[in-house]
A and B are shown apart, each in its own frame.
Chain A
Amino acid sequence: MSHRSRVLLLAACALLAAADAAARTLEDIIASKRIVVGVNPNLPPLGLYDAKNQIDGFDVAIARKIADALGVSLDIVPVGPSDRIPFLLADKIDVAAGGMTRTADRLRVIDFTHPVNTEVMGILTTADKPYRQLNQLDDPSVRLVQVRGTTPVKFIKDKLPKAQVLLLDNYPDAVRAIAQGRADALIDVLDFVLVYTKNYSTKWRVVDAPIEVGYDCLGIKKGNTALTQRLNKEIAVLHTNGLIAASWLKWFGHPMLYDPTAQAPVAVSQ
Chain B
Amino acid sequence: MPLQFRPILEQWPYLLGGAWLSLEMAALAFACGMLIGLVCAALLQLGPPYLRRLITAYVTFATNTPQLVQIYFLFFGLPEVGVILPPLAAALVGMTFNAGAYLCEILRAGMLSVRSAELEAADVLGFSRIQVLRYVMIPHVMKVMFPSLSNQFIIMTLGTSMASVFGVEELTGRTMSLGAETYLSVEAFIVAAGLYLTISLVATFMLIVYGRVIYRIKARML
Contacts and interface: CB of A to CB of B under 8 A. Distances in A.
Nearest to B185: A149
A51 B125 CA distance: 76
Contacts of B80: 180
A9 B169 CA distance: 35
A145 B167 CA distance: 9
A169 interface: yes
Given A169-B165, A173-B76, A182 B177 contact: no
B177 A176 contact: no
Contact of B79 (A149, A153, A169, A181): A181
Interface in B166-198: 166-167, 169, 173, 176-177, 179-181
Classify the secondary structure of B's interface with A: helix
A168 B71 CA distance: 14
B76 A166 contact: no
B79 A182 contact: yes
A33 interface: no
A148 B177 contact: yes
Given A176-B76, A180-B79, A181-B79, A149 B84 contact: no
Q: How large is the interface on B (under 10, 10 to 19, 20 to 34, 35 or more residues)?
A: 10 to 19
Contacts of B167: 145, 166-168
Nearest to B87: A166
Contacts of B76: 173, 176, 180
A149 B180 contact: yes
Given A173-B76, A181-B79, A154 B177 contact: no
Contacts of A168: 165-167
Interface string A141-180: 0000100111001100000000000111100010010001
A167 B18 CA distance: 15
Contacts of B181: 153-154
Interface of A: 145, 148-150, 153-154, 166-169, 173, 176, 180-182
15 contacts: A149-B176, A149-B177, A149-B179, A150-B180, A167-B169, A167-B177, A168-B165, A168-B166, A168-B167, A169-B165, A173-B76, A176-B76, A180-B76, A180-B79, A181-B84
Given A153-B177, A153-B181, A176-B76, 17 more contacts: A148-B173, A148-B177, A149-B177, A149-B180, A153-B180, A166-B87, A166-B167, A167-B167, A167-B173, A167-B177, A168-B165, A168-B167, A180-B76, A180-B84, A181-B79, A181-B84, A182-B79
